[in-house]
Structure 1
Amino acid sequence: MSPAASHEPAAPPALPVERVVARLRRHGRILVLPTVLFIAVTGVATYAAATLREPWQQLAIAGIATLAVLVFSFLPFLAWLTRRTTVTTRRIILRSGVFVRVRQELLHSRGYDVSVRRTWAQSAFGSGDVRINTGHDRPVVLKDVPRPQVVQAALQELMEDAHTIIGDRRRADQSTIDGDTVVWGGR
């Protein structure tokens, strides 16, 4: 053992590597109505365009059908596709937005309350809303998540693990301090 090594304080334990636990989106059943509307609009528009004789009427039907498909089918699909939640071992990352991207992070170490709310329709399809109360004005809601009880249990377990790691790290930091003033990890 070298003399220089004996004067150095013990390094605090390293934090474990952050791993992705789950990637979540809303339940796919919300896309049923936009899909049915897409099929109905294209069928009605095709029939109407075939029965109308005037070109301007056919163009009007095509324009209205295109607008209806964009608004009632494509936009709901795009909204579903761009909203996602990633749960890691350290945090929850919420992403949304098409033209303006929004990203929100919730650290497990900060602590929060997790509850599940299910309507009768959500219960029939095995989904539910997971409410994460962080103590701010409005809770964060993961809407229509498949298997919400599993998500709730996982979040509570991850929060407990984060508090255990933080507590171990604080105890290790306090054991290296022997009464001297410590500034940014140095003496």
Structure 2
Amino acid sequence: MGEASGTPGLPPGERIVARLRRHARVLVLPALLLVAVAGAVGYLVPVLDDGWPRLVAVVVAALVVLLGCVIPYLSWLAARTTITTRRVIVRRGLFVRVRRELWHRRGYDVQVRRGWLQRMFGSGDVRLETGHDVPVVLRDVPGPLAVQAAMHELMAAAHALGAPAVGPGTAPDGDTAPWARS
């Protein structure tokens, strides 16, 4: 279904421009917590009496690692934004997956917001205002000014080429779109 050089799952003529995740600095605190828990367990287990005190220490340490390290890491991995030549695909969610697509042809406003810490690390929030109630916010993206410039170029290219307004499945008259089309 992709191009000959292609990316599987994409229609012909559509290429991936970028794949983005939040800046990896969000994983610093979980990594420090993991080191601290490992040090505490390494110190406490030999000191505690045999039996249930050691078991409680190990179980509590495992819960802290699970909730404070593993789940944040998996949620960081589960959130991804893919920018293609035709659309922006935002995937979020660890247990409940949410996928949202924005077509460049429809147009949207691209804003960049950077706090002092984000500027220091070269990241920022990219807000895609679509005119709906809830804008799409790509949080803590590395290189937000380059992302903004790329989005503007992709929107301009989509409008210049007369790309479909809704994508595959748009009816020729432009008023209606078929429900199920494979």
The answer to whether the superposition gives a TM-score over 0.5 is yes
Mapping of residues 98-137 of structure 1, within 5 Å: 98-137=94-133
Higher Cα radius of gyration = 1
Distance 2:42 2:139 in 1: 36
Cα displacement string for residues 36-86 of structure 1 (whole angstroms, at most 9, x for unaligned residues): 000101110121111012310000000000000000011110110000000
Q: Give yes or no for the alignment of 1:80 onto 2:76.
A: yes
Q: Give yes or no for the alignment of 1:156 onto 2:152.
A: yes
Mapping of residues 2-151 of structure 1, within 5 Å: 17-151=13-147
Mapping of residues 171-186 of structure 1, within 5 Å: none
RMSD: 2.0
Which consecutive segments of 4 or more residues in structure 1 shift more than 6 A?
Answer: none
SS at match of 2:162: helix
Structure 2, unpaired ranges of 5+: 1-10, 165-175, 177-182
Cα displacement string for residues 105-131 of structure 1 (whole angstroms, at most 9, x for unaligned residues): 000000000010000000000000000
Look up the match of 2:6: none
Distance 1:103 1:86 in 2: 11
Q: CA deviation at 1:159?
A: 0.3
Query: Percent identity at matched positions?
Result: 56
Figure out how many residues of one structure are paired with residues of the other and give that number: 157
Look up the match of 1:12: none
SS at match of 1:49: helix
SS at match of 2:124: strand
Question: Could you tell me which amino acid in structure 2 is paired with residue 160 of structure 1?
Answer: A
Question: Could you tell me which amino acid in structure 1 is paired with residue 36 of structure 2?
Answer: A
Q: CA deviation at 1:16?
A: 7.2
Using CA pairs under 8 Å that are at least 6 residues apart, name the structure with larger relative contact order, 1 or 2.
1
Structure number with higher helix proportion: 1
Question: Could you tell me which amino acid in structure 1 is paired with residue 48 of structure 2?
Answer: L
Q: CA deviation at 1:96?
A: 1.5
